[in-house]
Amino acid sequence: MDNLLRFAVALLLLLLHACLTPDPLSLAAQAPPWRVVVAPAAEPGDPLVVSGTVVASDGVTPLPGATVQVHQTDAAGYYTARGEPGSEPRLRGTMRTDAEGRYEFRTIRPGPYPGGGIPAHIHFVVAHPGSRERRFEIVFEGDRYLTERIRADARSPRGGHALCAPTQDADGVLRCRQDIRMEPLG
């Protein structure tokens, strides 16, 4: 009887393990890709691709598995459709860096807020185990609202801004490289 009871318990544990352990393929499907589309092709505005590498504090070692979240306004400067009330930005995306620490997203060049004064920008939140979370905004060279204070902040490695000078490729797509250097916890 002891053997039968042990067998039943072992079988029950195996079944529980099988039921409670997620399928690796379904887990992989839930993990964000390293490349996403933030603004669909029909979104009004100048197409923009932002790409880069997330690296460790040494500035060289790529950090695979870093989460990169972005959100932005549309070309008219609104976070929600036609400026309707809402708390969630319509143009947003989440990526997880690949084995080489790379991320990339396709979007449109954002517009400044209606009423002006603040340069057009894209918000970034970057996280990686063992690193301090990094929050900043990229702003764009040539923006009429770009100030010397924002430029100085962009030159600081821990600043809240980063400056991007987009280049236009043969297809008319603006491209911007934004590498991200993380700092260790503590």
Which pLDDT value is given to residue 83? 65
pLDDT at 119 over 50: yes
| Token output for 173 | 């797509």
Q: What is the pLDDT of residues 23-82, one digit of tens each?
A: 333 433 467 899 999 999 999 999 999 999 999 999 999 999 999 999 999 999 999 987
Q: Is 46 exposed, middle or buried (0-12, 13-18, 19+ CB in 10 A)?
A: middle
- Residue 75 near residue 45, CB atoms below 8 Å: yes
Which pLDDT value is given to residue 30? 61
So what's the architecture of 32-181 in CATH?
Sandwich (2.60)
Which pLDDT value is given to residue 31? 74
Question: What's the CA gap between 54 and 98, in Å, rounded?
Answer: 10
- At residue 16 the predicted structure's pLDDT band, cuts being 50, 70 and 90, is very low
State how beta strands 47-55 and 174-177 pair: parallel
pLDDT at 12 over 70: no
Which pLDDT value is given to residue 1? 52
- At residue 86 the predicted structure's pLDDT band, cuts being 50, 70 and 90, is confident
What is the average pLDDT score of the chain?
85
Which pLDDT value is given to residue 67? 97
Question: What's the CA gap between 33 and 95, in Å, rounded?
Answer: 5
